[in-house]
Amino acid sequence: MHELFRQSLEDAINLLLESERTVFLNYEKWKVKGYNTGNSRNGYYSRTLSTEYGTLHLKIPRGRLGLFDIKTLESLQEAPAHLEKMIILMYQKGVTTRDISELIEKM
């Protein structure tokens, strides 16, 4: 059960990071709007984040020009317990990871 929460939290944060990059670039993945913009998706790099549920292996997205600055991880480092508990509670209530990502993005 503990591993299920850890994996769900990891999935939700990775989806949130990807959503943050999509908002920054101002176009969805594979959309024509992004062609020849000069700044596009440029893969990921790995980071780990220690939580009370275990170590999360995060895929941090990159932009081609290197201008993408992640705000989510700063929030996670400032108040990890609060965010983790909120995500886990939403997941337990049956909220999908995509919906959780959208809610946190709006916050």
The residues spanned by each domain of the chain are: 2-106
Answer yes or no: are the C-beta atoms of 39 and 63 closer than 8 Å: yes
Q: What angle is formed at CA 42 by the lines to CA 41 and CA 48, rounded to 5 degrees?
A: 110
Query: Given a cut of 60, is residue 80 above it in pLDDT?
Result: no
9 vs 52, residue with greater confidence: 9
- What is the rounded CA–CA span in Å between residue 89 and residue 105? 17
Per-residue pLDDT tens for 50-60?
888 888 899 88
Per the listing, tokens 């999935």 go with 11
- What is the rounded CA–CA span in Å between residue 17 and residue 71? 9
Per-residue pLDDT tens for 59-75?
888 877 777 777 777 65
Q: What is the pTM of this model?
A: 0.60
Of 3-7, 74-78, 94-98, 99-103, the poorest mean pLDDT is in 74-78
